[in-house]
Structure 1
Amino acid sequence: MSDSQLHDDEEDNNDVFIDQSDIIHEVALDDEVLPEACDPNSDSDSEIEEVDDSDHIFTGHTGELYAAACSPTDMALVATGGGDDKGFLWQINNGDWASELNGHTDSVSSLGFSHDGKFLATGSFDGTVKIWDVAGNLKGTLDGPEGGVQWLRWHPRGNVLIAGFDDSSTVWMWNTDNFAFLMSFNGHASGVTCGDFTPDGRTICTGSDDATLRIWNPKTGESIHVVRGHPYHTEGLTCLAINSTSTIALTGSQDGSVHFVNITTGRVCTFTTFDI
């Protein structure tokens, strides 16, 4: 199926609108029930106690920090990655690192916890993704195409991982249970700068330097929709987010604009275009 078939002409698009009927619940705010602002000149004993900054500074990295993530199951566990080629797991309740993650040969550019909080994936400019348990033990390495890892995302309910690379126009997907390569998603004309599974796990959305958003079937690798051209972005995509119902993708671009896209139809919601 050609790209032109996948993306309807502008005049054929059905615009998506939000109006008063879409409001789920509206809450009226009464100024009298809002908390009063703290008076900086007050001598009251009820003032907030000053916190020692040293209690919240974690030291371990010797280079720039590029990535951070919080565990979805352990509120005290966080992970960081940086330019010193290392990752760290931190226990924030005691202000110390729990595990130092060594093994990459270049900067750790991205990382993320699995949906169940049992594993951490670290992506590096060395072109590999490493899988660790939360005790800091290396479980395996996922090799990709040439180029450093720009981003990675776990499936919302399974041990499947996707990643995008800076020198490749493809997205790769692996099974992290057996560290097997599953498939690559091919179609972008330039580096894939951002991507994610929809929360229901049924679709993948990816953005590229080629100024397109592609919507994929993760089972077949088929490109379901290609979103490009007027009224969409004119320069490369830099970021995306997907709403909780897996129906709308929000994308940002180097052109300074933000767009909403209907994931089901692949159509741009023209009323929600913002220039920044």
Structure 2
Amino acid sequence: MAAPSPEDPSLERHFKGHRDAVTCVDFSLNTKQLASGSMDSCLMIWHMKPQSRAYRFTGHKDAVTCVNFSPSGHLLASGSRDKTVRIWIPNVKGESTVFRAHTATVRSVHFCSDGQSLVTASDDKTVKVWSTHRQRFLFSLSQHINWVRCARFSPDGRLIVSASDDKTVKLWDKTSRECIHSYCEHGGFVTYVDFHPSGTCIAAAGMDNTVKVWDVRTQRLLQHYQLHSAAVNALSFHPSGNYLITASSDSTLKILDLMEGRLLYTLHGHQGPATTVAFSRTGEYFASGGSDEQVMVWKSNFDTVDYGDVKVQRPPPLASSAGNLTVSILEQRLTLAEDKLKQCLENQQLIMQRTPS
């Protein structure tokens, strides 16, 4: 039986309620709830079920910069310019506990896959790890020499990756608390970084309009995309590991096919910068937010794999050595000579065959 052909992504829902730029979005485990944070100091919990009322959570005294559901979906963490982290119970009461996490703006919050710990990053130049249930400080990673924009656990919880305005992306061993590797970004600041679902590579979004994918085992640059015309503010891997979505100040979202190293879709929805984007846990949906105060939910459609079998998680292939593709994957695929494209795909096929499953 032939595989169904992929369809274009479609805009499913349009949530209005924030009174300033949206800074962050995240789906709950079961995709029934979507959380968003804004410069208006509020958190919103949107319900995917039509005609359901949204919850507005107040408590932060300044802009909410980051939000993340715990793996179980029973807790929600948020960070703010007010230097605090709040842990919320995402129900109608909106109860939260607060802890003064940093001495400057908190830029990033992320739960470990076991739900036991939380990593935070701040303009105070530190990355901190906390016990989730006791909300107790565990340890600090403090080798960055400028603001830390983002910090994320690896899928297995053994590594932490952080991105800073010191133009480095650092890879840390959570157990030894040592920096394993430092990727220097001469092109500009990295705004966002995350692990591929396989845990074997990371993607970094840059103020220089690029996205780079690095192998964390060999430290090699695997792919380099120059597709946006302004800063890339956020990115999110599809849980299959085959796709990456980006949000940019050029107002677009772009969906990349990592296995072929090419652009699949450019989505125009936001008026002004697209500030944040995130896939749902199954990959069936993705959400985006912008400086236009809008939260949008899209149905992926392009990935026709059975979501029950999202276990492929192969790392993306190396960028081909064919011509300009080492430097950038060109948006207009057809501008490549056909033989060059064929050579590129054959090279990638060889690399994929050599890559152990």
Q: TM-score band (shorter)?
A: 0.7 to 0.9
Query: 1:150 maps to which residue?
Result: 107
Query: 1:67 maps to which residue?
Result: 24
**Amino acid in structure 1 at the alignment position of 2:119:** I
Question: Hey, what's the Cα distance between the residues in 2 that align with 1:241 and 1:183?
Answer: 21
Contact 1:89/1:97 (8 A) holds in 2: no
Helix, strand or coil for the counterpart of 1:145?
coil
Ranked by relative contact order (alpha carbons within 8 Å, sequence separation 6 or more), the top structure is 2
| Aligned mate of 1:101, from 54, 57, 69 | 57
Query: 2:141 maps to which residue?
Result: 185
Query: 1:159 maps to which residue?
Result: 116
CA gap of 1:153–1:274, structure 2 versus 1, over 3 A, is farther
Query: 1:168 maps to which residue?
Result: 124
Range that drifts further, 216-225 or 262-271? 262-271
Question: Hey, what's the Cα distance between the residues in 2 that align with 1:104 and 1:269?
Answer: 40
**CA positional deviation for 1:250:** 1.8
Helix, strand or coil for the counterpart of 1:252?
strand
Q: Structure 1 residue 92 and structure 2 residue 58: aligned?
A: no
Query: 1:80 maps to which residue?
Result: 36
Helix, strand or coil for the counterpart of 2:53?
strand
Unaligned runs of 5+ in 1: 1-26, 38-52
Q: Structure 1 residue 203 and structure 2 residue 159: aligned?
A: yes
1:8-55 CA distances to partner (integer Å, 9 max, x unpaired)? xxxxxxxxxxxxxxxxxxx998xxx75999xxxxxxxxxxxxxxx9x9
Range that drifts further, 78-87 or 172-181? 78-87
Question: Hey, what's the Cα distance between the residues in 1 that align with 2:206 and 2:16?
Answer: 34
CA gap of 1:69–1:34, structure 2 versus 1, over 3 A, is closer
1:214-243 CA distances to partner (integer Å, 9 max, x unpaired)? 110112321111222xxx543221222321
1:96-140 CA distances to partner (integer Å, 9 max, x unpaired)? 434321111001111110011110111111111100112144342
CA gap of 1:251–1:65, structure 2 versus 1, over 3 A, is closer
Query: 1:11 maps to which residue?
Result: none
| Aligned mate of 1:111, from 67, 71, 75 | 67
Contact 1:142/1:174 (8 A) holds in 2: no
Query: 2:88 maps to which residue?
Result: 132
Helix, strand or coil for the counterpart of 1:61?
coil
**CA positional deviation for 1:151:** 1.7
**CA positional deviation for 1:62:** 2.7
| Aligned mate of 1:241, from 185, 188, 194 | 194
CA gap of 1:242–1:28, structure 2 versus 1, over 3 A, is farther
CA gap of 1:34–1:161, structure 2 versus 1, over 3 A, is closer
Question: Hey, what's the Cα distance between the residues in 1 that align with 2:7 and 2:174?
Answer: 50
**Amino acid in structure 1 at the alignment position of 2:160:** I
Helix, strand or coil for the counterpart of 1:97?
coil
Higher Cα Rg: structure 1 or 2? 1
CA gap of 1:205–1:108, structure 2 versus 1, over 3 A, is same
> What percentage of residue pairs aligned between the two structures are identical?
29
Unaligned runs of 5+ in 2: 224-317, 320-325, 330-357
Question: Hey, what's the Cα distance between the residues in 1 that align with 2:168 and 2:111?
Answer: 22
Contact 1:258/1:275 (8 A) holds in 2: no
Query: 1:217 maps to which residue?
Result: 173
TM-score by length of 1: 0.72
CA gap of 1:233–1:256, structure 2 versus 1, over 3 A, is farther
Question: Hey, what's the Cα distance between the residues in 2 that align with 1:157 and 1:227?
Answer: 27
Question: Hey, what's the Cα distance between the residues in 2 that align with 1:170 and 1:36?
Answer: 43
Question: Hey, what's the Cα distance between the residues in 2 that align with 1:34 and 1:144?
Answer: 48
TM-score by length of 2: 0.57
